[in-house]
A and B are shown apart, each in its own frame.
Chain A
Amino acid sequence: NAGVTQTPKFQVLKTGQSMTLQCAQDMNHEYMSWYRQDPGMGLRLIHYSVGAGITDQGEVPNGYNVSRSTTEDFPLRLLSAAPSQTSVYFCASSYGQGNYEQYFGPGTRLTVT
């Protein structure tokens, strides 16, 4: 199993550009989440999904969209990038159904200039 994969590993955007961060898992996990890591803030939950077709907002959802059309994939979209979205983004998945141990992807480092 590849576990949780994320692409790209690094990305530089200009303010106002859009892009999609990709996340995929091959463990048949129901739950998937996106977090961002900022200095002094730890990991903050952006959006999450409890199954295909179901998504919801986390702590810091503004500026991000998600969709979950398949169990495997959970892309995160930045519609109009802002410098405040410069961060490291982690995707994670878990079995759900009472087992919430998170398996994390390797992260995407995004810089918005």
Chain B
Amino acid sequence: ILNVEQSPQSLHVQEGDSTNFTCSFPSSNFYALHWYRWETAKSPEALFVMTLNGDEKKKGRISATLNTKEGYSYLYIKGSQPEDSATYLCAPPPHYGGSQGNLIFGKGTKLSVKP
């Protein structure tokens, strides 16, 4: 089972601040990295799936980068809004053929944005 680390565990920012957090994973046998957004009392929803070293993906004010050689991904939120408050999970699937490709999630970064 892959060891996935996310930091920080929690983050409190003011509305309008930009912020970022990290997902670290073993760089060997990399296949893909998933980011999910999980609002309280709801189900997790996929944000990005990233597969190539140097990948950068963007959705509105949220973007993510990927470094497969050193084993990390950053998630950035520009100009945080209260509706961005959620837990952000990352999940690198085990290499296909290793553990049948299911997702093991990090513990997440809980973001709180104060108005």
Report A's interface with B, CB cutoff 8 A: 31, 33, 35, 40-45, 48, 50, 56, 58-59, 90, 92, 94, 96, 98, 100-107
Contact = CB atoms under 8 A, between A and B. Distances in A.
14 contacts: A31-B101, A40-B107, A42-B89, A42-B108, A43-B44, A48-B100, A90-B44, A100-B103, A102-B44, A102-B46, A103-B46, A104-B44, A104-B45, A106-B43
A101 B34 contact: yes
A98 B105 contact: no
B102 A100 contact: yes
Interface of B: 1, 32, 34, 36, 42-46, 49, 87, 89, 91, 93, 96, 100-108
B102 A58 contact: yes
A63 to B, nearest CB: 18
A45 B107 contact: no
Contacts of B42: 106
B102 A101 contact: no
Given A59-B1, A105-B43, A106-B43, A100 B104 contact: no
A100 B106 contact: no
B101 A102 contact: no
B2 to A, nearest CB: 11
Contacts of B103: 33, 45, 92, 94, 100, 102
